[in-house]
């Protein structure tokens, strides 16, 4: 059973770059034809899809964030990562990493990590 765990700074200054890593355990990313995604949730609000990466490296981003987002994968470490540049208070959220068999159906999630953007 795959398990996902987010890690990274819980506090980022406004205008700087948010960087998070998702470590996958219980299976090899390099042998799995899955999509690996990031979804976020501002405190007390709904879910927003950020983007995803196919195991072979193709990326898909939410157009609303596309200019600021990069998702990458390191199969040797069984990790995938999120970079979000030029953050503002509006980027304060719980960030989840998740796995999908078929692009957008996320059947396995990390526990989430709260990232607060401070001024």
Partner 1 sequence: DIQLTQSPSFLSASEGDRVTITCRASQGISSYLAWYQQKPRKAPRLLIYGASTLQSGVPSRFSGSGSGTEFTLTISSLQPEDFATYYCQHLNTYPPTFGQGTRLEIK
Interface residue list for partner 1 (CB under 8 A): 39, 46-49, 60-64, 96, 98, 102-107, 109-112
Q: Decide the pairing of beta strands 11-13 and 113-118.
A: parallel
- Minimum distance from CB of 111 to partner 1 (Å)? 6
Q: Which two tokens stand for residue 56?
A: 């072979």
- Minimum distance from CB of 8 to partner 1 (Å)? 16
- Minimum distance from CB of 48 to partner 1 (Å)? 7
H-type alpha helices, the chain: none
Which CB atom, from 14 or from 111, has the smaller least distance to partner 1?
Answer: 111
User: How far are the Cα atoms of 2, 53, 57, 59 from residue 42, in angstroms, in the given order?
Assistant: 26, 22, 28, 23
Which CB atom, from 89 or from 114, has the smaller least distance to partner 1?
Answer: 114
């Amino acid at each position: 059973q795959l398990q996902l765990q987010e890690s990274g700074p819980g506090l980022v200054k406004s205008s700087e770059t948010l960087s998070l890593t998702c470590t996958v355990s219980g299976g090899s990313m390099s042998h799995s034809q899955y999509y690996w995604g990031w979804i976020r949730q501002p405190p007390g609000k709904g879910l927003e899809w950020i983007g995803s990466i196919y195991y072979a490296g193709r990326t898909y981003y939410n157009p609303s964030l596309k200019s600021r987002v990069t998702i990458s994968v390191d199969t040797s470490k069984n990790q995938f990562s999120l970079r979000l540049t030029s953050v503002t208070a509006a980027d304060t959220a719980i960030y989840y990493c998740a796995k999908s068999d078929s692009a957008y159906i996320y059947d396995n999630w990390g526990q989430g990590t709260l990232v607060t953007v401070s001024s």
